[in-house]
Amino acid sequence: MNTKLTKSRQRAICSELGRVRLQLLYKASVHGFTGEAFHQQCDHRSPTVSVGYNNSGFVFGGYTKQPFNQSGGFVNDDKAFLFTFTGEQLLKYPVTGPENAVKMIGNSGPYFGEALVLVHGSKPVAYSSPGDDYNFTAAEMHGNDLNLTECEVYQVEESTELERPWRTIMWEFEKREELIESIKSYKPTVSSVTQARVLLIGPVGAGKSSFFNSVNSVFRGHVTSQAISGSSSTSLTTQFRSYSVKAGREGKPLPIILCDTMGLEESKGAGLDIDDLNSILKGHLPDCYQFNPSAPLHPEAHGYRKSPGLKHKIHSVVYVIDSCKISIMPTGLEEKLDAIGRKVNLMGIPQLVLLTKVDEACPLVKEDVRNIYKSGYIKDMMQEVGSRLGVPLSCIIPVKNYSEELEVDTDCDILLLSAVIQMLRFVDNYFDELSDRMSNMQTKEVCPTSRPMTAGIDPSTSAFPTRISTDGSAGWSL
């Protein structure tokens, strides 16, 4: 059924009711101008908005939170109101006698007290009698024209859909290709580094390995599963892995490496160890290192990189969070994430958050992934995770990983590629900060009377160089 109530008038009514939408239940021209037809479509449905239309162009009606029935009595509703429109502007008449707000009559349509009845007596007419229950003037309400050309009843439903997207994103295939080319052509601003290293951190089952698989799928042109992923109460990733994405089956490696870690767990002695994380950030850990939560990596262990270069270090950290579990995140896990965030921040490494499984969290997004930035629920989740982890909304990116699909989808690809682009931008921020530090150090050397650059900085925790290196390895110290 097509609605007669215009979008702008629907928005005006919804603005009085919160974040809701109107779903058409009854249309008199389709179902019939009878009380029986009205009750058949609308009984036991609530809240509702009833709307009458007349030949004089008036649009008027009422709202009630009470479900309609045919009991014959009055029901109390202190939230009920009548309304009319002047152009697109809503004029509202709140109930003044809430105990008689709505009457449940079987042979009529919506019955608001003794003040306004639509489809009165099962006829295409309205009944109007301003009085104790609702105060209005008949001329203003409906122009004294009680002959109805249409009557509609809408159910008021909660909605997470915003009026317009709060982030701008282009969904065309050409945009997908543009993002792919941008990633392929990316070059770190430090010549000694050919690939940006991004570390994925997150709770067990959040989707770290799935994110790599999804990004890899975009460039392969079909869904792949190189990294082990799935559902488990404990981490399926037991090794430190550095995954290099290739541009196609036999293509060249892309200028980004996604480093996967063991999942975080709430209890102590389980999941990723904080000491191992420290070694990862500094570039000491070799690829395929087998995690042992009870015994962190020892400097004498096989493969331990004692003098890591800048190309071995982590240039950006990405927290991967399941959007379905934000509100039930255990305190112990939140404390671990907070401790990691403080450590990473102290080392000057930029941090992003990936919000995964958005389609499972929000029906609006499951219906169409293009609704991602029109979903008020997803925005609320992003704000909550930002508050919990202490990061601004601009550092949080929602994505949908491939999980059940066999072929890639342009819209999902665009979200995934946009996340990678944002990671590379943050890597640039890391290198820009390094460059600024080097420039400042050179200035201090030229001006020996100035306070030393290293004052107040602990070289054991600073992510920035203490000595300029020509090859990008020796001289860079954490």
The per-residue DSSP string of 245-277 comes to: EESSTT-PEEEEEEEE-PPB-SSTTSBS-HHHH
CA distance 416 to 423: 11
> Taking 90 as the threshold, does the pLDDT of residue 271 lie above it?
no
Please report which confidence band the pLDDT of residue 269 belongs to, taking 50, 70 and 90 as the band edges.
Answer: low
Across-strand partners of 168?
Answer: none
Q: In 3-state terms, what secondary structure has residue 207?
A: coil
- Cβ 140 vs Cβ 91: under 8 Å: yes
The residue among 265, 151, 148 whose CA lies nearest residue 202 is 265
Q: Give me the pLDDT at residue 457, please.
A: 34
173-184 and 410-446 are packed helices; what angle lies between their axes, rounded to 10 degrees?
30
61 within 8 A of 126, measured Cβ to Cβ: no
**Mean of pLDDT values over 314-343:** 90
- The arithmetic mean of pLDDT across residues 285-298, rounded, is 67
Highest mean pLDDT among 42-51, 292-301, 400-409: 42-51
Q: 474 pLDDT band (50/70/90 cuts)?
A: very low
Are 373 and 167 in contact, with CB atoms under 8 Å apart?
yes
Q: pLDDT tens for residues 437-466?
A: 777 776 666 555 544 333 333 333 333 333
Judged against a pLDDT cut of 50, whether residue 320 lies above it is answered with yes
Residue of 144 and 433 predicted with greater confidence: 144
In whole angstroms, what is the distance from residue 279 CA to residue 293 CA? 14
Q: 19-61, pLDDT tens digit by residue?
A: 888 999 999 999 999 999 999 999 999 999 999 999 999 999 9
Rounded to whole angstroms, how far apart are CA atoms 445 and 122?
A: 93
Domains detected in the chain: 7-158 (no CATH), 173-437 (3.40.50.300)
Mean pLDDT of 334-353: 90
Distances (CA, A) of 234 to 83, 230, 331: 57, 11, 18
Query: Comparing 120 with 283, which gets the higher pLDDT?
Result: 120
Token pair, residue 273, equals 């160890």
pLDDT tier at 159 (50, 70, 90 boundaries)? confident
What's the pLDDT at 473?
Answer: 35
Which pLDDT score, from 0 to 100, does residue 293 have? 56
Q: Name the β-bridge partners of 49.
A: 63, 154
Q: How far apart, in whole angstroms, are the C-alpha atoms of residue 60 and residue 14?
A: 15
**Predicted confidence band of residue 306 (pLDDT cuts 50, 70, 90):** confident
Contact 115, 82 (CB under 8 A): yes
pLDDT at 477: 31
Query: Could you give the angle at the alpha carbon of 193 between the alpha carbons of 392 and 423, nearest 5°?
Result: 20
In 147-254, alpha helices (H):
173-184, 208-220
Q: Tell me how far the alpha carbon of residue 44 is from its chain's centroid.
A: 34
